[in-house]
Every structure is written in C-alpha cells, then in structure tokens.
Amino acid sequence: MPVERAVRIPIESHATVLGDLRVPEAAIGLVIFAHGSGSGRRSPRNRSVAEALNDAGFATLLIDLLEEDEDVEAGDSGHPKWDIEMLSKRLAHTREWTADDQELASLPVGYFGASTGAGAALAAAAREPDLIRAVVSRGGRPDLAGDQLRSVKAPTLLIVGSRDAHVLDLNREAANKMKAEVRLTVVPNATHLFPEPGALEQVAELAVEWFRTHLRTEDREASRR
C-alpha cells in the first residue's frame, strides 16, 4: 500500500479543504473522491474502494469538500452540504491543484462520488468536459447535477443497490438525461450503504474495471507489465 500523505488544498480566497493522497509507484491515473453529506475523507466505505484502486495502480485523493465549521449534521436544503454548485466548484479547484503537483500533473483524472457527492462529481465533470475522463457513482444522487448532466462527456458508471429503490429510480432518470456513455449497474440484495457481505467488494471491483477501461495512460500501463 502506498504511503498516505495529508494535503491542504486552497480552493477559494477564504477556504481550504483537507485531503488524503496515495500515489502508487508508476501510477496510471488519479481518482478524486467526493463524499456525500454526513461523510468525509475517512469514510471506511470509500477508503475500501480507494485501497482497491491503489492496488490496481491508481492514485487516490480523498477530500473533505466542506470546511470544519460547515460540516455539521443538521441543516435544511440551504445547508452547504446540499449546494451542488459550490461543491462542484471546489471539486474542480481540487482538480486544478493536482495539475500543479509534479507527481500528479501527468495523470488522467476521474471522479468517484458517493451519495450527494455523485451529484457534485458529475457537475464538476460537466465544468471540465475535456479533462475528466471517467466518473463512478456509488449509491449516488446524480440527479442533483440537474441540467449539467447533459454536458458530461466522461463515461459514467452508476452503481446502486437493488434494495435502494428510491435512489435506483433517481439514477435511472439521471441516466436517461445523459448524452455521454453511461452504465447503470445494480448490485443484487444491496441497500444504500452496501453493508451486506460482499456488496462493497463488488462496488470496488466494478470501479476498478471502469477506471481501468476509461482512465489510463497507455505508456504507463505498458510500463507496469
């Protein structure tokens, strides 16, 4: 497992987000994680997926899109955790920061979004349609990206549990609005957080295969063989 290092990413004149970065030797791509409301960069579920990606040769950056004073459990629809426009801007600023990092600058970039973070990831992908190469959503709310779904060019994988009925319906509706390549994969007998035995492992396998297909640099991939 590559060594993890903490990073601080200035995203606005008055805001800084915190992240945990892992870069395997001869990395073939970078996946930036956008967490859902009530979660963060230390989410055991997203860390499990990130470790699988690391093992497959991908660098991972898990970030908190909210600052500490913004990240509170309570909050109505006006709370920052529901502000997809703001969150997507911060995610795009994070991507820009990686472009200035010598270790990351040459890597193709994808997003992994969970819950509301999936909406932010797709909205951010729409902001930079020629730079974001792939998106994966786990139990996500892609519908929150609204009309920006039509501007996404990145091939997108939507992963939903079969027993997460409402979110599954929202994913189907979002997929129908997208013009990019999109695949909806349903994990049998899984609920929203994929706590069932083997369910999260399926999510990780699906994510690795999607990014392996759509997010790689051919010469780096060849160097690993």
In a domain, 75, yes or no: yes
- Residue 217 CA to residue 98 CA, distance in Å, equals 16
pLDDT at residue 147 tops 90: yes
In a domain, 167, yes or no: yes
Q: What percent of the chain has pLDDT over 90?
A: 76
pLDDT for 15 equals 81
In a domain, 59, yes or no: yes
In a domain, 22, yes or no: yes
In a domain, 120, yes or no: yes
Model confidence, pTM: 0.91
In a domain, 225, yes or no: no
The token pair at 196 is 């069932």
- Which pLDDT band, with edges at 50, 70 and 90, does 101 fall under? very high
In a domain, 40, yes or no: yes
Domain harbouring 164, CATH code? 3.40.50.1820
pLDDT, tens only, 22-56: 999 999 999 999 987 666 788 899 999 999 999 99
In a domain, 180, yes or no: yes
For residue 153, give the nearest of 175, 131, 174 by alpha carbon.
131
State which residues form the domain around 214: 4-219
The total of structural domains in the chain comes to: 1
For residue 58, give the nearest of 38, 92, 79, 33 by alpha carbon.
33
